[in-house]
Amino acid sequence: MTSHSKYEVLFERSPQNPILTAEHWPYPVHTVFNPGAVRLPDGTTLLLCRVESRTGMSHFSAARSANGVNGWVIDPEPTLLPEPDKHPEELWGIEDPRITFLEELGKYAIAYTAFGKAGPGVALALTSDFRTFERLGVVMQADDKDAALLPRRVDGSFVLVHRPMTDQGAHIWMSLSPDLRNWGHHKLVLMARRGSWWDANKIGLSPPLIETPRGWLMLYHGVRHTAAGSLYRLGVALFALDKPDQCLLRGASWIFGPEAPYEWYGDVGGVAFPCGTTLGSDGDTLNVYYGAADTCIALATGSLKQVLNWLDRHGAPPT
Ligand code: BMA
């Protein structure tokens, strides 16, 4: 409930945080962070973790757990490695996977950052089992990242949310495709604010959009540049179910940001960066998996209803 002296807490950190660190890995790694997340049909939570080695390059590792909190079983070898020989756009690694189950294909689509000489771009891969992967290659040229697909077509088209860097700034766009390979109809859907706002100048999608009866819920990160470095915090917006490019409500303030020591101390302090969520069996509990300080993986849990209710009280249609 609303307190007069404190901001309302929408996401509670797991007392077991950080839930995954480099020490858990079955082979030497430097850091593990920014995981994509999915709940498999048997109830297992699968995190596709971004793993950085001491070369500086990242790859992906799958970690599986029955309760989504502990007892993680991590693939003994890297699950998906960059393949620069076949895919030069992955020369400097693959980062920040976001997973969507595509109902039409019956497969998971992973949108990830492919980092090559041109800069970071958006690539797609498909998988049924997180053991073998079919790459579709680059779908958004550099400089572009923070991408995820919607789970089904809207008006006949697949929809990709992403964040191209343009002369006008770092805003969130949606693009459409008939076949996941050819993309167009690019549309700006959420702009970074300006001035002293927490989400001024640079925003990006965090986890894939979450479907609710009231619309697609977007958790997005706002980057605040300060004299001490960048702060990565989370805000929330709601988009129309039948017109996902139409923003209905946008929260004024951020709802989750670095507070705990593991979010402040690490390679990049001041970063709480989710790339995936899972929904509890009650259809309301939202588990948010996030990278903390680009070093480890943490979990925070909230209620979709409460987030929507907060948005009604603290949000407004964008101007
Ligand atoms: C962003 C992304 C994330 C990273 C964050 C903070 O630009 O590259 O992978 O977690 O910066 O360093």
How many angstroms separate the alpha carbon of residue 85 from the centre of ligand 1? 25
Q: What percent of the chain has a predicted confidence (pLDDT) above 90?
A: 97
Nearest ligand 1 atom to alpha carbon 232: 6
What totals of helices (H) and strands (E) does the chain contain, helices first?
A: 2, 23
Nearest ligand 1 atom to alpha carbon 96: 9
Query: Does the Cβ of 295 fall within 6 Å of ligand 1?
Result: no
CA dist 313 to 55, 178, 214, 285, 307, Å?
47, 38, 15, 20, 10
Q: Mention the CATH class of domain 25-314.
A: mainly beta
pLDDT of 1 > 60? The answer is no
Report pLDDT for 5. 79
How many angstroms separate the alpha carbon of residue 238 from the centre of ligand 1? 23
The pLDDT mean for the chain works out to: 97
For residue 107, the SS3 value is strand
CA distance 178 to 161: 15
Q: 144: which residues sit within 8 A by CB, 6+ positions away?
A: 120, 121, 122, 162, 163, 164, 165
Report pLDDT for 275. 98
Nearest ligand 1 atom to alpha carbon 95: 9
- pLDDT by residue (tens digit) across 178-187? 999 999 999 9
Report pLDDT for 2. 53
Can you give the residue ranges of every domain in the chain? 25-314
Query: Does the Cβ of 293 fall within 6 Å of ligand 1?
Result: no
Tokens found for residue 258: 């670095």
CA distance 81 to 18: 24
pLDDT (average), residues 169-185: 98
How many angstroms separate the alpha carbon of residue 38 from the centre of ligand 1? 21
Confidence grade of residue 71 (pLDDT, cut at 50, 70, 90): very high
How many angstroms separate the alpha carbon of residue 117 from the centre of ligand 1? 18
Query: Does the Cβ of 95 fall within 6 Å of ligand 1?
Result: yes
Query: Does the Cβ of 263 fall within 6 Å of ligand 1?
Result: no
- In the chain, the amino acid numbered 123 is A
Among protein residues, the one with the nearest Cα to ligand 1's atom 10 is 294
How many angstroms separate the alpha carbon of residue 269 from the centre of ligand 1? 11
pLDDT of 104 > 70? The answer is yes
Query: Does the Cβ of 271 fall within 6 Å of ligand 1?
Result: yes
- Residue from 232, 233, 267, 296 to probe ligand 1 pocket by mutation (most atoms less than 8 Å from CB): 232
- Residue from 172, 273, 275, 295 to probe ligand 1 pocket by mutation (most atoms less than 8 Å from CB): 273
How many angstroms separate the alpha carbon of residue 41 from the centre of ligand 1? 30
How many angstroms separate the alpha carbon of residue 15 from the centre of ligand 1? 25
CA distance 204 to 145: 8
How many angstroms separate the alpha carbon of residue 22 from the centre of ligand 1? 18
- Residue from 203, 263, 271, 296 to probe ligand 1 pocket by mutation (most atoms less than 8 Å from CB): 271
How many angstroms separate the alpha carbon of residue 5 from the centre of ligand 1? 32
Report pLDDT for 4. 61
pLDDT (average), residues 83-109: 98
pLDDT of 64 > 90? The answer is yes
- pLDDT by residue (tens digit) across 190-235? 999 999 999 999 999 999 999 999 999 999 999 999 999 999 999 9
pLDDT (average), residues 116-131: 98
Confidence grade of residue 319 (pLDDT, cut at 50, 70, 90): confident
Q: 41: which residues sit within 8 A by CB, 6+ positions away?
A: none
- pLDDT by residue (tens digit) across 4-55? 679 999 999 999 999 999 999 999 999 999 999 999 999 999 999 999 999 9
